[in-house]
């Protein structure tokens, strides 16, 4: 028996849309006129067609009439159930004509297209930021409002994004799901793994526009730029000392507190910086990594080699 063909006898004079029922055309025309005759008595939400109001009312009643027979998932709209079923079937009917990307939801395809077109329809009313996704704008607005709706139940930490909270929770669980395939070192954050991989590849994507310096992380470039600008944003509240790097200020503060967190396991010597401990350990190991290219003299400290080199320059100078 052949498939019954439904005639589309009702057409829109504005855009050419056609349908088989007059009621569908009436609802469609409201997309042009902006008319929204159906209103929610609870919150004032308005829409152009009655089915949309029926679905909306379920946000108030909590009714989820559409259920998945595979896993028990339930939802308010049939279209949501159809999308959910694709998580079981693996079906991805929406494909990008530019790249090989395919997805189960049409909305995801729309987002993907913006990665090609560069379109950013969501703009911040406070600053000039614009984003390709509404969720990105919501996240951005929290930089202005200071809102941090996601809370850690263990320590009270809060964050503007759920993904940040997920990463934070790993500081409590110790979970490190991102592993390096080269050395098996593991991390709690994907971004940390990306930075780590550069130690293997030698990639340095961040470059200084003033000199030829390049580095693997953006934070290192920010620090480097201060060597050109002279900026020293970190200041000591005790003596007024200022520096360009936060860790340098932390070390400086130990001159006031007397803190010496780095200890020698051989003799009990302690110091304020790790580099001093490394130098001290050479008194036990006998390591002398600094060598004179003129006479072969070696020593454990760089400054000792500098002083030694003067014995050659002075002899050369005075003949």
Among 181, 143, 149, residue whose Cα is nearest residue 165: 149
- Taking residue 160's Cβ as centre, other Cβ atoms within 10 Å add up to 19
Among 229, 259, 292, which residue terminates a domain?
A: 229
Structural domain contains residue 200: yes
> In this structure, is residue 294 part of a structural domain?
no
- How far is residue 235 from each of residues 226, 238, 260, 267, 275, measured CA to CA in Å? 15, 9, 21, 35, 22
Domain boundary among 50, 82, 114: 82
Q: What is the pLDDT of residue 51?
A: 87
- The CATH number covering residue 161 comes to 3.30.160.60
Beta bridge partners of 215: 206
Residue 225 within any structural domain of the chain: yes
The two structure tokens encoding residue 240: 């007024």
Q: Which pLDDT band, with edges at 50, 70 and 90, does 2 fall under?
A: low
- Burial (CB count <10 Å: 0-12, 13-18, 19+), residue 66: middle
Mean pLDDT value of segment 45-56: 90
CA atoms within 13 A on the CB side of 187: 13
Of 229, 247, 263, the domain-final residue: 229
Q: How far does Cα 201 stand from its chain's mean position? A: 22
Residue 96 lies in a domain: no
Q: Residue 218: which domain range? A: 150-229
What pLDDT is attached to residue 91? 92
The answer to the question of residue 40 being in a domain is yes
Residue 38 forms part of a structural domain: yes
Which pLDDT score, from 0 to 100, does residue 142 have?
94
Return the residue matching tokens 């709706």.
149
When pLDDT is averaged across residues 74-78 and rounded to a whole number, the result is: 88
What was the pLDDT predicted at 61? 92
**pLDDT given for residue 3 in this prediction:** 56
Token pair listed for 103: 């997805």
How many structural domains compose the chain? 2
> Read out DSSP for the chain?
-PPPPPP--EE-TTT--EES-HHHHHHHHHHHH----EE-TTT--EESSHHHHHHHHHHHH----EE-TTT--EES-HHHHHHHHHHHH----EE-SSSS-EES-HHHHHHHHHHHH----EE-SSSS-EESSHHHHHHHHHHHH----EE-TTT--EESSHHHHHHHHHHHH----EE-TTT--EESSHHHHHHHHHHHH----EE-SSSS-EESSHHHHHHHHHHHH----EE-TTT--EES-HHHHHHHHHHHH----EE-TTT--EESSHHHHHHHHHHHH----EE-TTT--EES-HHHHHHHHHHHHHHHHH-
Give the pLDDT band (50/70/90) at residue 316.
Answer: low
CA 125 to chain centre: 23
- Across the range 297-314, mean pLDDT stands at 90
pLDDT band of residue 1 (cuts 50, 70, 90) is very low
Task: Report how far residue 254's alpha carbon sits from residue 248's, in angstroms, rounded to the nearest whole number.
Answer: 10
Residue range 14-21: mean pLDDT, rounded: 89
What's the predicted TM-score (pTM) here? 0.51
pLDDT tops 50 at residue 318: no
Instruction: Answer for the pair 168, 162: CB distance below 8 angstroms, yes or no.
Output: no
pLDDT digit string, tens, across residues 214-254: 999 999 999 999 999 999 999 999 999 999 999 999 999 99
Interatomic CA distance for residues 24 and 141, integer angstroms: 38
Specify the pLDDT at position 176: 94
Cα atoms in the Cβ-side hemisphere of radius 13 Å centred on 257: 13
- Mean pLDDT of the region 294-313: 92
Residue 243 lies in a domain: no
Write phi, then psi, for 207 (nearest 5 degrees): -120, 145
Q: Which residues, including other chains, have CB under 8 Å from residue 273's CB and lie 6 or more apart?
A: 251, 262
Q: Is 4's pLDDT higher than 70? A: no
User: Would residue 158 count as lying in a domain?
Assistant: yes
Q: Compute the mean pLDDT over every residue in the chain, rounded to the nearest whole number.
A: 91
The answer to whether 157 and 148 are in contact (CB under 8 A) is no
């Amino acid at each position: 028996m052949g498939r019954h063909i439904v005639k589309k006898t009702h057409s829109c004079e504005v855009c050419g849309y056609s349908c088989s029922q007059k009621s569908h055309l009436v609802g469609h025309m409201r997309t042009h006129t902006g008319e929204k005759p159906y209103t929610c008595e609870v919150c004032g939400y308005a829409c152009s067609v009655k089915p949309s109001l029926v679905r909306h009312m379920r946000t108030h009643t909590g009714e989820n009439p559409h259920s998945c027979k595979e896993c028990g998932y339930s939802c308010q709209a049939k279209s949501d159930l159809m999308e959910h079923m694709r998580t079981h079937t693996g079906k991805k009917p929406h494909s990008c004509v530019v790249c090989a990307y395919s997805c189960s939801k049409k909305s995801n395809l729309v987002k993907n297209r913006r990665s090609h077109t560069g379109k950013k329809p969501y703009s911040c009313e406070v600053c000039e930021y614009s984003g390709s996704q509404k969720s990105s704008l919501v996240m951005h607005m929290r930089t202005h409002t200071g809102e941090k709706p996601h809370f850690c139940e263990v320590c009270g930490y809060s964050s503007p994004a759920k993904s940040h909270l997920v990463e934070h929770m790993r500081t409590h669980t110790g979970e490190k799901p991102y592993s390096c395939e080269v050395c098996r070192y593991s991390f709690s954050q994907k971004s940390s793994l990306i930075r780590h991989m550069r130690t293997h590849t030698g990639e340095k994507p961040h470059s200084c526009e003033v000199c030829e310096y390049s580095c693997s992380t953006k934070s290192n470039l920010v620090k480097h730029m201060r060597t050109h600008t002279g900026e020293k944003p970190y200041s000591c509240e005790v003596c007024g000392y200022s520096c360009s790097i936060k860790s340098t200020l932390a070390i400086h503060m130990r001159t006031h507190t007397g803190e010496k967190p780095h200890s020698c396991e051989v003799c009990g010597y302690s110091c304020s910086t790790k580099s001093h401990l490394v130098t001290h350990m050479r008194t036990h190991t006998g390591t002398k990594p600094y060598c004179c290219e003129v006479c072969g003299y070696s020593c454990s400290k760089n400054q000792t080699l500098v002083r030694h080199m003067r014995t050659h320059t002075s002899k050369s100078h005075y003949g």
